[in-house]
Amino acid sequence: MPARGSPVVGRGGDRRWIVPAAILVFIQYAAAIVITHAVRFTGRPPTLKYMMIALVISLVGGSIIALPKVWRFWREGESSPVARLVRESDLGAVASYLIGFQVFALQMGALTWLKEMLPVIVPFWADPPLAAVDRAILGTDAWRLIPELLIHPLDVVYVTWAPVTTIAINLILCLKPSEAKTRAILAYFLTVGLMGVCGQYLLSSAGPVFYDRLFASHQFADLLTRIDAHAPVVDRTVHYLWASYMDHVDQLGIGISAMPSLHVAVAAWFALAIPAFWPRLRVPAWGFWLVIFVGSFALGWHYFVDGVAGTLGAVGCWRLPGRRRSADEVTIAVNQVAAAA
């Protein structure tokens, strides 16, 4: 199925998203360093681990693309299929593909670092009002609305969030430079940067699965019993995150935060970005978002309003670098933010 996108970006190509994305990540690290020194935080981000994983993923993804071409060259009688592949490859595109994965990894390192410091800077305070808003809107806790028989399937499907979004990023990075590609990638960095950092610092919360431990409560005891019985992946992850939170261990994927839901926000980005290139995937893409949204509160990770906020935030970030908005304008805006910081 051929990819559909806007015309190829003019002069600059992939640099039109690499530069502003790198600036956004730099701002996140600058903020993390300032916060670290301000509170004398001793933890360090597992950035190198993320970069190594990104390198492996990018090499595997590149090999999956390259090997069929090498095979075809060999079948055509080419004596040196690898050499021919190198000759015919766009080395600039290969470089932007590899660099792109590393910029994504750097942002994940910054996000993990900032999330780890979140309860030190802004102790969890928003859980009681968020739970109250859920009950006011829905008449009960959101997780109670989902039948118990769906909990185990959701527990299994929810973990596909990471590989599905990673594959989506891989596919988009492989595309030729275009306005659509620039928009999609910048929207991702804005979503993770604004939703995953600014939003979570403004509304510091841990989520229903951690509510009782943090607030000496029994409001979510039934939820924890259900998770223990039907959601083994969530149960193990909760223990992992809580141990990391208590011991301040620097590991991959640590950090507790609920509002807004970054899982739902990135799933919404996925639902917006994938159809921009492959329109026939619109329904399954939004279906993926729906499953992640429902799973986010059914499994107790988030309140219902967390997912709503994450979705609306992702839509806003998608609209910011719009189709007709010049990527140069986005770069200028990011430079202005950097100067102000």
Report how far residue 206's alpha carbon sits from residue 150's, in angstroms, rounded to the nearest whole number.
Answer: 23
pLDDT band at 333 (very low <50, low <70, confident <90, very high): very low
pLDDT tens profile 270-325: 999 999 999 999 999 999 999 999 999 999 999 999 999 999 999 999 988 764 44
Contact 260, 313 (CB under 8 A): yes
Q: What's the mean pLDDT when you consider all of the chain?
A: 84
Provide, for the chain, the percentages of residues in helix, strand and coil under a 3-state DSSP scheme, each rounded to the nearest 5: 75, 0, 25
CB neighbour burial string for 172-210, b if at least 16 within 10 angstroms, e if fewer: bbbbebbbbbbbbbbbbbbbbbbbbbebbbebbbbbbbb
pLDDT of residue 307: 95
- Measured in degrees and rounded to the nearest 5, phi and psi for residue 258 equal -125, -50
- Signed CA dihedral, 77, 79, 84, 85: sign only: positive
Give residue limits of the domains in the chain: 15-340
User: What does the DSSP 8-state code read for residue 142?
Assistant: G
Alpha helix (H) residue ranges in 191-251: 200-202, 208-215, 221-230, 232-247
Counting residues of the chain whose pLDDT is more than 70, the rounded percentage is 87
pLDDT of residue 43: 67
As a whole number, mean pLDDT of residues 159-188 equals 91
pLDDT of residue 37: 81
pLDDT of residue 7: 36
Which has more confidence, 174 or 252?
Answer: 174
CA-wise closest residue to 8 among 184, 172, 178, 173: 178
| Omega before 260 within 30 of 0, i.e. cis | yes
pLDDT of residue 322: 60
pLDDT tens profile 52-69: 888 888 888 878 877 887
Write down the number of H helices and E strands in the chain: 16, 0
pLDDT of residue 12: 54
pLDDT of residue 4: 44
Q: How far is CA 32 from CA 87, 199, 216, in A?
A: 43, 15, 30
pLDDT band at 327 (very low <50, low <70, confident <90, very high): very low
Which has more confidence, 146 or 5?
Answer: 146
pLDDT band at 9 (very low <50, low <70, confident <90, very high): very low
Angle between helix 262-277 and 179-190 (nearest 10): 180
Angle between helix 127-138 and 208-215 (nearest 10): 130
Question: How crowded is residue 40: how many other Cβ atoms within 10 Å of its Cβ?
Answer: 7
SS3 call for 3: coil
Angle between helix 282-298 and 151-158 (nearest 10): 120
pLDDT of residue 224: 93
pLDDT band at 340 (very low <50, low <70, confident <90, very high): very low
The position carrying tokens 């660099």 is 99
Least confident of 16-25, 66-75, 248-257: 248-257
Chain center to CA of 145: 27
As a whole number, mean pLDDT of residues 328-332 equals 49
Report how far residue 201's alpha carbon sits from residue 199's, in angstroms, rounded to the nearest whole number.
Answer: 5
pLDDT of residue 3: 43
Whole-model pTM: value is 0.84
pLDDT tens profile 132-160: 999 999 999 999 999 999 999 999 999 99
Q: CA 192, 194, 199 angle in degrees (round to 5)?
A: 110
pLDDT tens profile 214-271: 998 899 999 999 999 999 999 999 988 888 777 766 666 667 888 899 999 999 999 9
